[in-house]
Structure 1
Amino acid sequence: MEGIRSHERSSSSKIKEIGEILGMLGESNRGRDWIINETKKHHLKIPAQTSLNSYEILSRCPTIFITNLHRAMKGNSVKGFEDVQSLTKAYHWLFTDMVGGSNPTIPTKDQVRKIVALNELIRRTETFRNRDHTSTVILPVGDGVAVGFSDSQEKPLRLAIEIHKALFRYNENKVGKDKLAIRIGIDMGPVYIVEDLNGKDNVWGPGIILTRRVMDLCGEMNIFASARIGDDIRKLSPEYEEILHPIGNYSIKHGEELVIYNIYGEGFGNKIAPRKAKVVAPNLERDIRTVNNFSFNYLKINLEIVDPKTAFTRHTWFMDVTNASKKPMDQIFYSLDGDTPKEFGDLNVNVRDDHNNVLEILSVNVNKPYHKEFNIQLNRPIKPKQKRALILEYDWEEPERTYFYRFASGCKHFVFSLTTKKEMKLSMKVLKADTETGSKIDATTMPVISSDDGKTVITWEKKDLIIDEAYQFNW
C-alpha cells in the first residue's frame, strides 16, 4: 500500500514539474524541437512520432530526467545539463506591451501602425539613445519590447518615465481607439545566454520571466516595479521616493507573491492600480467588512485649496450613514490616501458626530507615507437601520491636482466640491474608473462651476452609486 502511495506522489510530482517546464519553455519561445534535441543529447529512446506534442514527449521521459531538467531550468547546476544552466548575467529589466493590442475590433494595419509608433517613441527617448550597447539587451516581444540594462538599476525607471511622457504628447490629438496605451513592468534578475534555433545568442531566465509577470499585473498606463528593484531605487533620491508608491502584495503564477510599487507622478503613470490579483491581508478584509456595514444616504467631499502654491488642501467629508448590519456598531473604519508623504499626526484628523462632539481615534492600523487606515470610536452605538451624521476633516497637499475616490459602500447621493481662490486657473474633468483594469472614461455628468465671495466653486454630483464604483477628479 505504501508503495502505491509513493508511486502516486512520484507521478504527481513529475506532472507538476512537466507543467512548470512547459510554462518556462513558453516564456522563452522554446518548444517541441528543443525538447527532442535534449532527449537526444541524453540518449533517451523516446518515440519521435510527429503526432506527439511537448507534454506527451516529456511524460514518456524518465522521472530523473524530468527532475534534472526542471532543476537546471530553474538555474541550478546539474551535471549533464550544463548547456541548459548556462552562465548567468544580471540585468535590470523594463517589459512593456500595448493595452488592447489583440483587440479584434481594431484593424490589423492599425495595430501594426501602433507598434511602429511605440517603437519610434522608445527610440527617441534620451535613455534609449544614450544607452551603452555592450551592457544593454533589447528583445522585441509581440506588440512590445523588453529592455535589460546591466549597468544601472535606474535606467529602466527613467526609460519608463520618458516613454510615458512621450506617449502623453502623442495621444494629445488622438481620440478613442487611435490612442496608444501601454503597461510597463520593472524588475531585476539573472538571465542565461542561450543559442536559439537560428544559431544566434538569446537571453532567457528568471529576470525576464518575473518582469513579464510584474507587467501582467498592470492596468492601462500603469508602471509597476517589484520590491526587489523598487526598494533599492527609492533609497537613491527623494525624487524617486516620492514617485514609487507601495501598494501591497500581488499574486503571480505558481502561488508566488510579489510586493509591488505603483510608479506615477506628473505626466507619467496611473494612480489607479488594478485590484485583480491583489492579496488582501486578513485584518484589512475585516476592516473592509466593517466599512460595508454602513451605507451612505448622503456623502459630500469638499476640497478647499487653502494655498495654491503649496497645494495645501483642507478635506471635509459630510456623511449621513445608515447601519446596514444586524447589530449595533460602535466603530467606523476610514482609509485615506495622498500624493505627498505624511505622518498621521500631521494630517490634523478630526471627526465629529451630529452633536459636534469630537470622536476618539481608537487605533491607527496603517501609517504608511501615502496611505492611512484608522478606526473611530463612536460616543453612541448606531443601531441597525439607524442613521447618523458625521464630519471628517483632515489636511493633505494635492500637488498632482487630482483626487480619487472608490466607494466601499453604496451611496444614495454623492457630491464632490472643489473650492479655491478665484485667480487659480481650473479645468475640471471627471473620469469614471474601472478598479479592475485601471482604465478610465469620461463621466456622463458634467461639473458645475460657480463663484462665491471671491472664490471659485466646482461641484459634481451623482445618485445611486454602488460598491466599488470609482471616480477621479482632475483640475
Structure 2
Amino acid sequence: MSNVESKTALVKYIFLDIVGYSFNRTVEAQTDIISTLNTIIQTTLTEEGLKQENMILLPTGDGICIALINLIDPYDLHISIGIKILSKLEDYNLNQPSIERIFKIRIGINENYDNIISDINGRENVAGTGINIAQRIMDSAEANQLLIGQSVYEKLAQRSKYSKAFISFKKKIKHGIELHFFRYINNNIAGLNSEVFIQEKTVETYPKFIAIYCSLLIILKKQIYEFSSPGGNYALMLTISYLTEDIINYNNASDIDKKNFNSKLMRYEIDSLKGAYKAFKSTHFWVLADAWSYQESETEIYKWRSQFKNDYLTLIPEAEEKLFLENPNILEEVNEIIKNIFPNFYKI
C-alpha cells in the first residue's frame, strides 16, 4: 500500500450549472451555451487577476466548480465572482437573438479546509466535505439564485456590506442530514434573482399528483431516456402528466366505473407509452408547448420545480428519497393500476 502525502488547503468554492441545459435545445445550442459560459467564467477570473496556481477548474458537464486555493483576501472573493458571472450572463442574454441560446444558471458558494489530490488523469482535484456541500447548496438554488453555506455566511454577515443581505433556509438532505444555507438578496445587481421565497418547498409532503408523477419518472426512466429528444420532451411530459391523472381518477373510481373507465389518454386512442409519445410528438411544437403550459398550471407542478433536474423528466436525488420515505410502496401500487388501465402500456 502506497502512502500518498495529503495536502490540505482552504478552498473557496463557486459551484454553478446551467438550468434546463438540454431542455428543448438542439445539440448546437447546447454546445454554444457551454462555450458562452466558459468564456464568461474565464473573462471574470482574468479580470480578478487570479493566478493558475491558486485555482482549480472542475467541469461538470453542464456547469463548473471553481475552486480557489488559499486565497484569504479579498474576504468576499467567491461571492464577488459569482455576482460578476451573473451580471455578465444578464448582458449576454439581453443581446442574444436566439431563444435557444438564452440561459440561466444557479450558484452555490461554500468554503472549507479540504484535500488537494491528483485524480485518475494525474490532474489536481479537490476532495472533502466543502466541495460536497457546495454542490448540495447549488442543487437547492433556482434560476439565477446565489446561495451560500454556513461557513461563508458567518464571515460575510459580520460585514456591513452583507449584514442584512441574506435569508436563512434549512432542508433535509441525504441520510437525514440538515443543510443550512443562505440566499443572497440584492435588487441592485443585474442578473441576480432576488425574488423572495414564500416558503421552503421541500418541507411539504408531496400531494398525490406530484407523488404519482415522480413515481412514473422512476418506473419509466429507461423509456424516457430512449424517447427524450430536443423538442420531444413536451410530448413525454404531457404523456406522463395525463397518465398521472388517469391513475388518480381510476384509483378514486367505484368498482363499476373502473370496468368502463374513461381514460384521458384513451380519448386520443392511446394504449401504450410509445403510442402516446408518437401521437403527441406528431403535433406541432407550439401546440404542445401551450398544452404543457396549461397542464403545468392546472396541476400546479410548477410549485415543485425544485424537485426536478433541468426539466420535469428527471428527479433530483433528494426528491427520490423523499418520495420513498413518504410512500414506501408507491411503485408497486402505480404499476398495478397502469396494468389494469393499459395492459399494453409497456409494449414497445
Interval containing the TM-score (normalised by the shorter chain): 0.5 to 0.7
Assess if the C-alpha contact under 8 Å between 2:171 and 2:179 holds in 1: yes
Corresponding residue to 2:19 among 99, 103, 112: 99
Task: Tell me what 2:130 maps to.
Answer: 207
Task: Tell me what 1:231 maps to.
Answer: 154
Alpha carbons of structure 1 residues 128 and 264: separation in structure 2 relative to 1, 3 Å: farther
Cα deviation for residue 155 of structure 1 reads 1.0
The DSSP-based 3-state class of the residue aligned with 2:167 is: strand
The DSSP-based 3-state class of the residue aligned with 1:250 is: strand
Cα deviation for residue 101 of structure 1 reads 1.5
- Partner Cα separation in structure 2 for residue 215 and residue 279 of structure 1: 20
- Partner Cα separation in structure 1 for residue 130 and residue 38 of structure 2: 22
Query: Whose RCO is larger (CA < 8 A, sep 6+)?
Result: 2
| Larger Rg belongs to | 1
Alpha carbons of structure 1 residues 279 and 136: separation in structure 2 relative to 1, 3 Å: farther
Structure 1 position 160 matched with structure 2 position 82: yes
Matches within 5 A, 1:48-63: none
For 1:262, the aligned partner's letter is R
Cα deviation for residue 215 of structure 1 reads 0.3
- Partner Cα separation in structure 2 for residue 131 and residue 147 of structure 1: 12
- Partner Cα separation in structure 1 for residue 55 and residue 122 of structure 2: 20
Corresponding residue to 1:248 among 145, 154, 169: 169
Return the TM-score normalized by structure 1.
0.39
Report the RMSD for the aligned CA atoms in angstroms. Answer: 2.8
Alpha carbons of structure 1 residues 125 and 199: separation in structure 2 relative to 1, 3 Å: closer
Alpha carbons of structure 1 residues 164 and 200: separation in structure 2 relative to 1, 3 Å: closer
Assess if the C-alpha contact under 8 Å between 2:107 and 2:141 holds in 1: yes
Assess if the C-alpha contact under 8 Å between 2:109 and 2:147 holds in 1: yes
| Structure 1: stretches of 5+ with no match in the other structure | 1-40, 42-79, 281-431, 439-475
Task: Tell me what 1:343 maps to.
Answer: none
Cα deviation for residue 250 of structure 1 reads 2.0
Corresponding residue to 1:277 among 202, 213, 216: 202
Cα deviation for residue 437 of structure 1 reads 3.6
The DSSP-based 3-state class of the residue aligned with 2:200 is: coil
| Structure 2: stretches of 5+ with no match in the other structure | 206-299, 307-348
Cα deviation for residue 433 of structure 1 reads 12
Task: Tell me what 2:39 maps to.
Answer: 120
Structure number with higher strand proportion: 1
- Partner Cα separation in structure 1 for residue 153 and residue 122 of structure 2: 36
Cα deviation for residue 108 of structure 1 reads 1.4
For 1:107, the aligned partner's letter is T
Alpha carbons of structure 1 residues 169 and 200: separation in structure 2 relative to 1, 3 Å: closer
- Partner Cα separation in structure 2 for residue 202 and residue 128 of structure 1: 23
For 1:99, the aligned partner's letter is V
Cα deviation for residue 187 of structure 1 reads 0.6
Alpha carbons of structure 1 residues 116 and 226: separation in structure 2 relative to 1, 3 Å: same
The percentage of counterpart residues that share the same residue type is 25
Corresponding residue to 2:140 among 217, 225, 234: 217
Matches within 5 A, 1:255-404: 255-265=176-186, 266=188, 267-272=190-195, 273=197, 275-278=200-203
Task: Tell me what 2:95 maps to.
Answer: 173
- Partner Cα separation in structure 1 for residue 148 and residue 88 of structure 2: 20
Structure number with higher helix proportion: 2
Alpha carbons of structure 1 residues 435 and 242: separation in structure 2 relative to 1, 3 Å: farther
